Amino acid sequence: MEVDTPDGPSTSGHDPAALAAAAAATGCDARTRFVLELEFIQCLANPQYLNWLAQNRYLDDPAFKNYLRYLEYWRQPQYARYIKFPHCLLMLDLLRSDAFCRAVAVAQVADDIHAQQFYHWQHYRANRVREGTAALDAPAAGPRAAAAAGAGAAAAAAPTAAAAGRAG
């Protein structure tokens, strides 16, 4: 299996002639292709760019839609780790919908998506910190908590049993 990386493709078990033929067919080497496709898929996180694509009818072009389907490989962990704007993967999903493609052609829709992204980026870290603090403050849950509660109840019952044994 060939895996494109920023350093070029992993060629273990591949014929160099086949790699050269693939580079000739695409017009660029594997590293350049990797970088170009990474840049393009990350552009999909930009609602204004999606608006431009929709207004210029790229989203209606079957060849372009086929290219978007091809880009699904970016979901695989060995590729996804290079993505800095993960919203692009959500937009890639949404671009499968003809209704979304029509909607994003409206400038106000693109502006609304952009605003929601801004609010997400603005509050994401603070919300995660708040959730983490709440989890630390909340009583422990799960099997360990039940075991600890059970041990505490047994320890509390032990003096009572000892006192009952002395009384008898």
Per-residue pLDDT, 85: 92
Residues contacting residue 2 through CB under 8 Å, at least 6 positions apart = 9, 10, 11, 14, 19, 30
**pLDDT on residue 57:** 96
What integer pLDDT is reported at residue 76 of this predicted model? 95
User: In this predicted structure, what is the pLDDT of residue 65?
Assistant: 96
* pLDDT tens digits in sequence order for the chain, 168 residues long: 344 554 444 444 456 676 677 777 778 888 999 999 999 999 999 999 999 999 999 999 999 999 999 999 999 999 999 999 999 999 999 999 999 999 999 999 999 999 988 888 887 777 777 777 777 776 655 555 544 544 444 444 444 444 444 444
> What is the DSSP secondary-structure string of the chain?
---EETTEE--TT--HHHHHHHHHHHTS-HHHHHHHHHHHHHHTT-HHHHHHHHHTTGGG-HHHHHHHHHGGGGGSHHHHTT-S-THHHHHHHHTT-HHHHHHTTSHHHHHHHHHHHHHHHHHHHHHHHHHHHHHHHSPP-SHHHHHHHHHHHHHHHHHHHHHHHHH-
Domains for the chain: give ranges and CATH numbers. 4-137 (1.10.10.1340)
Report the predicted TM-score, pTM, of the whole model to 2 decimal places: 0.62
Amino acid 140: pLDDT: 57
37 vs 83: CA distance, rounded Å? 11
Distance CA 105, CA 87 (A): 18
What confidence score (pLDDT) does residue 3 get?
Answer: 47
Cβ neighbors of 19 (< 8 A, separation 6 or more) are 2, 9, 11, 30
